A and B are shown apart, each in its own frame.
Chain A
Amino acid sequence: MSLHPRRRAVAVQWPTMLWLTIVWVLLWGDLRLGNVLAGLAIAFAVTVLLPLPAVASGGRLRPFGLIRLVAHFARDLVVASVQVGVQAFRPGPPVSAVIGVRLRSSSDLYLTLTAELCSLVPGSIVVEAHRLTRTLYLHVLDVDTAGGIEAARQSVLDQEERVLRAIASDAQLAAAGLGPVPAANRKRGVTT
């Protein structure tokens, strides 16, 4: 039984088709009209024959939030990689922990994005995601490197906030208890 009874039979999913066409063109490395049309045809066939439930985001793309999210992610990826790399050569086993973090947003999409980004960056991987209580359980490799349990918890919440500020709508932000950024805090938000 499908979890998504609203799945429509023939609803053309333009974003998915666009993404599949881009992948096709990149794979061939050939931006000619014929190739793009072939990609479009295959993308259409894939979305019609193998439909997936549409992702209901209802969000709004904020360019500055997105830039901050990506820049922060790139920096975190380097820092986390070096930390884990150094940890690999350090004598003695790391002091690990499994912590539960209750997220503020109830959307599946933001839960997924936060979990995905947290797996890659702040010294943690997601062990279990509980959708009903919107709780992520993360394994922290080294508690001391992460700056303690509470700091690790806070970094997950910060990550979620950056995701929400990048793509969520005003209503979703308010529902998660994150109002629009006041002008005074905006500068501080960039540096944290």
Chain B
Amino acid sequence: MSWTTVADVVAAICLLGGSLLAFAAGVGLVRFPDLLARMHSATKPQVLGLILVLIGLALRLRNGPAVWMLVLVVAFQLLTSPVASHMVGRAGYRTGKVRSELLVVDELTADQNAAESEADARDAAPGL
């Protein structure tokens, strides 16, 4: 068995595993109940799925310049995907797109309410 066969088999495993994760991410996007849960689906399985697909691709291509390009794609995916999900999650939270009845604990809303009532108390008693 030659090295090219080994590389091909590993490439096939990576491609299949990556596709499976990307599929799971897609199912999650459809099935999860609210925006924040969907963002989980868009970051974790999707990123690892993409990385696996690209590793499989690199093992199959075995060609310098193309492989370096794939390395860049992975690096930028890891850098940008959390930022994107954070921005979407934050915007969703601020515009009330979050279904708070699905949360068992919500410390952000609690802290915001506490800060607001503190400010109200200060306004009510300016002499203090």
Are A93 and B66 in touch, CB under 8 angstroms? no
Q: Does A96 sit at the interface, judged by CB under 8 A? A: yes
Sort chain A's interface into a size bin. Answer: 35 or more
Q: Does B7 sit at the interface, judged by CB under 8 A? A: no
- Chain B proximity of A43: nearest CB distance (Å): 15
Nearest residue (CB) in B for A83 is B44
The residue that B45 contacts in the complex, of A30, A84, A98, A143, with Cβ under 8 A, is A84
- Residue-wise interface mask of A (101-123) relative to B, using a CB-CB cutoff of 8 A (1 in contact, 0 not): 00000000000000111011101
Q: Does B53 sit at the interface, judged by CB under 8 A? A: no
Are A96 and B104 in touch, CB under 8 angstroms? yes
Nearest residue (CB) in B for A117 is B82
The residue that B93 contacts in the complex, of A93, A95, A123, A127, with Cβ under 8 A, is A127
| Chain A residues within CB distance 8 Å of chain B | 23, 26-30, 77-78, 80-89, 93-100, 115-117, 119-121, 123, 125-129, 135, 137, 139, 141, 143, 149
Minimum-distance CB pairs A-B, first 6:
A29-B65, A119-B82, A85-B24, A88-B28, A81-B48, A97-B105
A-B contact pairs, 12 of them (CB 8 A): A26-B72, A81-B45, A85-B21, A88-B28, A97-B105, A119-B43, A119-B82, A120-B82, A125-B89, A127-B86, A127-B93, A141-B40
